[in-house]
Amino acid sequence: MPALRNWLVTLLLVLAAVPVLAQQQPAQPAAGAGQPPLDNGNPAQPGQPTQPVQQLPQDTVRPNYVLGPNDQILIRAPDAEEINQKPFRVDGDGNINLPLVGRIHASGMTLQELEANLVQRLKEYIREPQVFVDVVQFRSAPVYFVGLFARPGIYPLQGNRTLTEMLTSVGGMLPNASRHITITRHEEYGPIPLPTAVVDPEKKVSTVEISLGSLRQNINPAENILLQPYDVITVGRAENVYVNGEVLRIAGIELGERDSISILQALSQSGGFTRDAMKDKVRILRPIEGTNRRTVIYVNAKELFEGKGIDVPLFPNDIVYVPRSYSRLFWTTFSSLALPMLPYIIFLVAQ
């Protein structure tokens, strides 16, 4: 009987160890990883289409530029020699007089609308006319709004216009836009008059990043700068923090208008922990500025959820990683194998 008992115990231990050893250790994000975690079944931004920020060359004008008196345009219409590759100026009444098609009230039209108007008029003479309109001289110096603004494009800078005034003109920003905007200014118009501005002597520009929250709350009135001709105002997508590992939903969390989010909020938005989570060994992988490395911050999230300790803020591009508890996994696997066999073991021992 002792030999039988020893044999049964050995058998149980082997059965319990086999699935644990066969289970491959999941890849953990390295401290030097420069890319956020991805999960094929859980996209980082569900329901939000990717909208890459397009760089706008300074010598081109987007179709939504609104024409006005004294703008000079160049029309390209290969099949209409009378107007092809010829410049025309919008007069003081907002009209342009064109050979073949006559007078058009162009003031208030976008370039796209003017192109469509010309196409309709040319159809009387040409079967499938092609028309392209460019602005070659502005009625006033332009400024460029690039990225996730409500109405990105080129806008005339008439008089002394501040940053907040021009942001109102473009309709503000889209909901998924970053809460930080970047302003780039050419050297000939002087450096941006803010202490945080960075001058690039090679590109002959100065740039500065301004927080929209600070601008709205008027925390630093000097940030509401006067814009200069050919300033480029850029906004990208909102920054994210990422939650990976033993959580119910692996995803990126958009900060939106916030500069940070607490780790408890991030874990809660990710659905909480799985049953195998090692709650007291949660890691924050934080980017080190100017490098491709990350520093590791350990957090006892178990205590935080019990109301102990101090909640930790997460900043843009932080990665929260919740590791798996393999001791818990072992006993869970052992019990799932041993319990079904318990009646047979009792029967054999009782014999």
Per-residue tens of pLDDT for the chain, all 351 residues: 555 555 554 554 545 444 444 444 444 444 444 444 333 333 333 333 333 333 333 344 455 778 888 888 999 999 999 999 999 999 988 999 999 889 999 998 988 899 999 999 999 999 899 999 988 887 778 899 999 999 998 888 877 889 999 999 899 888 888 888 999 999 988 999 999 999 999 999 999 999 887 888 887 888 999 999 899 999 988 888 999 998 999 888 888 767 788 999 999 988 988 888 888 889 999 998 778 899 999 999 888 888 888 888 998 889 999 998 766 555 566 566 556 666 666 666 666
Question: What three-state secondary structure class fits 95?
Answer: strand
Last residue of a domain, one of 189, 213, 235: 235
1 within a domain of the structure (yes/no): no
* Boundaries of domain holding 146: 142-235
121 within a domain of the structure (yes/no): yes
Number of domains forming the structure of the chain: 3
340 within a domain of the structure (yes/no): no
Terminal Cα-to-Cα distance of the chain (whole angstroms): 9
4 within a domain of the structure (yes/no): no
Burial class of residue 228, CB neighbours in 10 A (0-12, 13-18, 19+): middle
Looking at the structure, tell me whether residues 162 and 94 fall in a common domain.
Answer: no
Cβ contact 197:223 at 8 Å: no
Looking at the structure, tell me whether residues 150 and 111 fall in a common domain.
Answer: no
Cβ contact 288:34 at 8 Å: no
**Side chain identity, residue 276:** D
Looking at the structure, tell me whether residues 214 and 249 fall in a common domain.
Answer: no
Distance, in Å, from the CA atom of 110 to the CA atom of 101, rounded to the nearest integer, reads 18
Contacts 24+ apart (CB under 8 A), 215-222: 215/163, 215/164, 222/193, 222/194
Last residue of a domain, one of 192, 217, 235: 235
Instruction: Write the CATH number for 114.
Output: 3.30.1950.10
206 within a domain of the structure (yes/no): yes
Nearest to 135 by CA among 182, 73, 216: 73
Burial class of residue 227, CB neighbours in 10 A (0-12, 13-18, 19+): buried
Looking at the structure, tell me whether residues 32 and 82 fall in a common domain.
Answer: no
